[in-house]
């Protein structure tokens, strides 16, 4: 990430999250400094979406969506982080600074995209002039309209067509080579065309910029498909063929079907299934899925029905597991032997093909089915093995409903007590000191611990940190390092608000904790905040002192303390006396 933090803070200071959201959904003023609306991120009749001006933070009581202005752009406009910063900066009339190398690289890219477009135009032109290419497309049943929409083309036979057309100068040749369209000769001088006598499939990124090509041989030969190499424009493991067209065709992508081939996407599209995308000859990656889930919450994987298809599906399941949450629906469709979506959709119509989705396996069914095949569930040993391997996967899921559902199902299938499975699941939980487990204390009428209260108040009203008169003592309490870090950041930026504060933890393991703190209900009136905060800190102070004193005393019983430790101990004991006298 090359965007300097100072810029992000400036940007968040300049953009008001209330104004920003109000341009997308009308906000109503309701209580105190909060605005309300119907949530744009889930379907609802009542207004549970709240936006706080002082916190510069939004939160939905219905679906839990939350964040600052950048998060709103990410969620609402389906952007990634740099894109969201870019878009907000445009709104604010600011320019995103980047480090020198990034500027240089980015400056060159528009020229390279443009060159790609010129190449696609050349190939399209050649296709229209070449009977062999037209006949091939016809024989595969591809209509003229689809050819145009997907800009299918033809790279002529011979070694120098594109090089001659577009590589007039040495600079142009270098650029063509940089985007993988021509290749430098090993011996001697000059370049030759990478794609020769092939049907060309231009590949767009999600914004419609041309980034690469796939080229199919017309007759027999190897390789059947030749793809652009990895270039500054093109990263195979990130891109999805057809996403741009699908998104252009459909205002909302309610579901997306993920297939294997270029021809599958095109044939489905021509038959009215305009929401198919394909990976580019690679297995599904986290990058692919992250991108897709910005557009849709229902994903149907489409695989061959054979052993290879099952293996590929299992691999995809493993990639998707850690990303699953309660809002996503994932299914696995296995096709009849010897068919692919292209051949199948030509035989049946759109309706029949879409009916297959009804019979697709849900993620959980496919999960248990596959694991079940690997163990004999009629023996105790087999069931134990089955449960152990299932638990290994279930552990990776976020602790949401979907995890509970799988756990329940596992309990039935393995005939193991649910409570036992739950304790197994917890046993080697990540006990990271800064990831705090939130229980429903408030619901049970129990007050949160001093530490949690201090953390929550600080995140919600950062200016409270400026009330602290002395540094906090060291402590081993979980969550304590987070408190120190918060105080440090706020004391360096005394006017920081919640939304901006959260940026410090974007993408880090503490992020969900900070988000929960930001929306924790404490029911303390505005006027009492300062006293409650200082009270909580005082308690913590006492706890840490006691713990520190106990630790050093215990150590002293075993070995000699260092000079430093002795001093520390006497300082803490004196401090404790002083505190006791004050109470």
Q: Is 239 in the site for ligand UTP (CB under 6 A)?
A: no
CB of 26 to ligand UTP, least distance (A): 45
Closest approach, Cβ 343 to ligand UTP, in A, equals: 8
Q: Which stretch in 101-109, 149-157, 341-349, 528-536 sits in contact with Mn ion by CB under 5 A?
A: 341-349
Helices and strands of the chain, counted as H and E runs: 25, 16
For CA atoms 530, 432, 420, 402, the dihedral sign is positive
**C-alpha distance from residue 377 to each of 310, 424, 499, 520 (Å):** 21, 20, 51, 44
Distance of closest approach, residue 342 Cβ to ligand UTP, in angstroms: 5
Q: How far is the C-alpha of 70 from the C-alpha of 72, rounded, in Å?
A: 5
Number of residues that bind ligand UTP (CB under 6 A): 15
Asked if 49 contacts 28 with a C-beta cutoff of 8 angstroms, the reply is no
Locate 486 and state its tokens: 């918060």
511 binds, among Mn ion, ligand UTP, none (CB under 5 to 8 A by kind): none
* Residue 340 contacts Mn ion per CB under 5 A: yes
β-sheet bridge partners, residue 217: 198
Which of these ranges, 14-22, 277-285, 326-334, 340-348, lies near Mn ion under the rule CB under 5 A? 340-348
Q: Quick one: 150 or 386, whose CB is closer to Mn ion?
A: 150
**419 vs 231, 384, 423, 425, CA distance in Å?**
52, 15, 6, 10
> Which residue is listed with tokens 């891109």?
239
Q: Determine, following the binding rule CB under 5 A, whether residue 339 of this chain makes contact with Mn ion.
A: no
Is residue 268 within 8 Å of residue 341, measured between CB atoms? Answer: yes
Residue 497 engages ligand UTP in binding (rule: CB under 6 A):
no
Q: Which residue has the tokens 């389906």?
A: 78
Q: Would you say 86 and 98 are in contact if contact means Cβ atoms under 8 Å apart? A: no
Alpha carbons 169 and 516: distance in angstroms, whole number: 58
Q: Measured from the CB atom, is 178 or 340 closer to Mn ion?
A: 340
205 binds, among ligand UTP, Mn ion, none (CB under 5 to 8 A by kind): none
C-beta closer to Mn ion: residue 276 or 436: 276
| Residue 105 interacting partner from Mn ion, ligand UTP, none (CB closer than 5 to 8 Å by kind) | none
Minimum CB distance to Mn ion, residue 261 (Å): 5
Q: Assess contact for 96 and 86: CB atoms under 8 A.
A: yes
| SS3 (DSSP) at 298 | strand
Q: Which is nearer to Mn ion, 271 or 383 (CB)?
A: 271
CA distance 471 to 541: 10
Scanning 28-36, 158-166, 338-346, 450-458 for contacts with Mn ion by CB under 5 A, the matching segment is 338-346
The CA distance from 8 to 89, in Å, is: 9
Q: CA-CA distance, 104 to 113, in Å (whole number)?
A: 15
- Nearest to ligand UTP by Cβ — which residue? 261
Give ∠ CA 282-154-142 in degrees, rounded to 5.
Answer: 75
Residue 330 CB coordination number (10 Å): 24
Q: Least CB distance from residue 293 to ligand UTP, whole Å?
A: 22
Which of ligand UTP, Mn ion, none sits in contact with 172, Cβ below 5 to 8 A by type? none
* Given 342, 436, 479, 544, the residue binding ligand UTP (CB under 6 A): 342
Residues 6+ apart with CB under 8 A from 509: 432, 434, 435
Residue 262: which of ligand UTP, Mn ion, none does it interact with, CB under 5 to 8 A by kind? ligand UTP
**Which residues, in sequence order, are CB contacts of 464 under 8 Å at separation 6+?**
457, 458, 529, 530, 533
Nearer to Mn ion, 210 or 265 (CB): 265
Of 146-154, 249-257, 342-350, 475-483, the window that binds Mn ion (rule: CB under 5 A) is: 342-350
Contact indicator for 474, 500 with CB cutoff of 8 Å: no
Least Å distance between CB 226 and ligand UTP?
7
Please, which residues bridge with residue 256 across strands?
299
Q: Which is nearer to ligand UTP, 140 or 173 (CB)?
A: 140
Per-residue contact string for residues 250-269; x = within reach of Mn ion by CB under 5 A: -------------x------
Interface segment toward ligand UTP; rule CB under 6 A; list 165-173, 255-263, 385-393, 464-472:
255-263
By 3-state DSSP, what share of the chain in percent is helix, strand and coil, each rounded to 5? Answer: 50, 10, 35
**Contact between 260 and ligand UTP (CB under 6 A)?**
yes
Binding mask 263-292 for ligand UTP (x = CB under 6 A): xx---------------xx-----------
Q: Where are the alpha helices (DSSP H) in 199-306?
A: 243-249, 262-270, 286-292
Binding mask 199-238 for ligand UTP (x = CB under 6 A): ---------------x-x------xxx-x-----------
- DSSP-based three-state secondary structure for 67: strand
Which partner in ligand UTP, Mn ion, none is near 225 (CB below 5 to 8 A by kind)?
Answer: ligand UTP
Q: How far is the CB of 343 from Mn ion (least distance, A)?
A: 6
Beta bridge partners of 330: 299
Of 277 and 317, which has the nearer Cβ to Mn ion? 277
Least distance between ligand UTP and beta carbon 280 (Å): 5
Scanning 520-562, the segments in alpha helix (DSSP H) are: 529-558
Backbone torsions φ then ψ of 436, nearest 5 degrees:
-95, 135
C-beta of 336: minimal distance to Mn ion in Å? 14
Q: Which tokens go with 406?
A: 């799988």
Question: Residue from 193, 304, 342, 510 that binds Mn ion (CB under 5 A)?
Answer: 342
| Piece of 176-184, 261-269, 438-446, 463-471 that binds ligand UTP (CB under 6 A) | 261-269
Q: What is the CA radius of gyration of the chain?
A: 30
**Interaction residues for ligand UTP, span 147-176 (CB under 6 A):** none
Q: Provide the minimum distance between the beta carbon of 540 and ligand UTP in the complex, in angstroms, as a whole number.
A: 58
CB 492 within 8 A of CB 5: no
Say whether residue 262 binds ligand UTP (CB under 6 A). Answer: yes
Q: How far is the CB of 22 from ligand UTP (least distance, A)?
A: 44
Segment contacting Mn ion (CB under 5 A): 153-161, 302-310, 334-342, 552-560? Answer: 334-342
- Encoded tokens for 503: 């940026």
Pairing of strands 256-259, 298-304: parallel
Return residues touching ligand UTP (CB under 6 A): 214, 216, 223-225, 227, 260-264, 280-281, 340, 342
Return residues touching Mn ion (CB under 5 A): 263, 340, 342
């Amino acid at each position: 990430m090359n965007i300097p933090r100072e810029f992000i803070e400036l940007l968040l200071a300049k953009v008001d999250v209330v104004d920003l959201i109000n341009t997308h959904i009308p906000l109503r003023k309701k209580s105190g400094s909060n605005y309300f609306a119907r949530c744009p991120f889930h379907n609802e009749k009542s207004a549970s979406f709240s936006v706080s001006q002082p916190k510069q933070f939004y939160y939905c009581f219905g679906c839990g969506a939350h964040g600052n202005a950048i998060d709103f752009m990410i969620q609402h406009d389906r952007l990634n982080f740099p894109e969201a910063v870019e878009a907000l900066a445009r709104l604010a009339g600011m320019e995103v600074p980047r480090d020198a190398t990034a500027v240089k690289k980015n400056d060159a890219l528009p020229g390279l995209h443009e060159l790609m477009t010129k190449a696609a135009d050349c190939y399209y032109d050649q296709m229209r002039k070449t009977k062999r290419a037209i006949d091939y497309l016809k024989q595969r049943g591809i209509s003229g309209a689809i050819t145009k929409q997907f800009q299918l083309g033809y790279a002529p036979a011979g070694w120098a067509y594109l090089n001659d057309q577009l590589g007039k100068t040495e600079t142009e040749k270098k650029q063509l080579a940089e985007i993988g369209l021509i290749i430098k000769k090993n011996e001697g001088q000059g370049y030759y065309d990478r794609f020769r006598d092939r049907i060309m499939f231009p590949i767009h990124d999600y914004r419609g910029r041309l980034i690469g090509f796939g080229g199919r041989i017309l007759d027999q030969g190897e390789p059947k498909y030749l793809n652009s190499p990895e270039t500054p424009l093109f990263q195979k493991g990130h891109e999805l063929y057809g996403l741009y067209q699908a998104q252009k065709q459909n205002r909302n992508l309610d579901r997306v079907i993920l297939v294997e081939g270029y021809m599958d996407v095109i044939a489905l599209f021509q038959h009215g299934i305009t929401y198919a995308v394909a990976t580019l000859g690679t297995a599904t990656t986290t990058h692919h899925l992250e991108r897709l889930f910005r557009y849709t919450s229902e994903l149907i994987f489409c695989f061959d029905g054979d052993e290879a298809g099952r293996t590929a599906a299992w691999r995809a399941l493993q990639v998707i597991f850690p990303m699953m949450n309660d809002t996503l629906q994932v299914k696995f469709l296995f096709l009849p032997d010897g068919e692919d979506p292209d051949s199948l959709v030509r035989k049946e119509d759109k309706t029949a093909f879409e009916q297959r989705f009804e019979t697709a396996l849900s993620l959980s069914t496919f999960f248990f089915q596959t694991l079940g095949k690997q163990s004999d569930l009629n023996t105790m040993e087999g069931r134990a093995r089955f449960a152990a391997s299932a638990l290994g996967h279930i552990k990776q899921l976020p602790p949401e409903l979907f995890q509970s559902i799988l756990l329940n199902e596992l309990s039935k299938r393995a005939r193991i007590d649910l409570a036992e499975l739950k304790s197994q699941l917890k046993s080697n939980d990540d006990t990271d000191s800064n990831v705090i487990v939130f229980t429903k204390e408030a619901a049970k009428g129990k007050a949160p611990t001093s530490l949690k209260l201090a953390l929550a108040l600080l995140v919600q009203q950062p200016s409270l940190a400026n009330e602290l008169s002395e540094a906090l003592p060291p402590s081993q309490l979980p969550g304590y390092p987070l408190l120190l870090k918060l105080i440090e950041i706020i004391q360096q930026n005394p006017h920081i608000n919640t939304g901006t504060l959260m940026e410090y933890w974007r993408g880090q393991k503490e992020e969900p904790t900070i988000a929960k703190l930001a929306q924790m209900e404490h029911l303390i009136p505005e006027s009492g905040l300062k006293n409650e905060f200082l009270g909580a800190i005082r308690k913590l102070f006492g706890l840490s002192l006691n713990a520190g004193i106990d630790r050093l005393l215990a150590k002293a019983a075993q070995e000699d303390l260092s000079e430093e430790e002795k001093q520390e101990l006497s300082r803490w004991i004196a401090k404790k006396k002083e505190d006791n006298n004050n109470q």
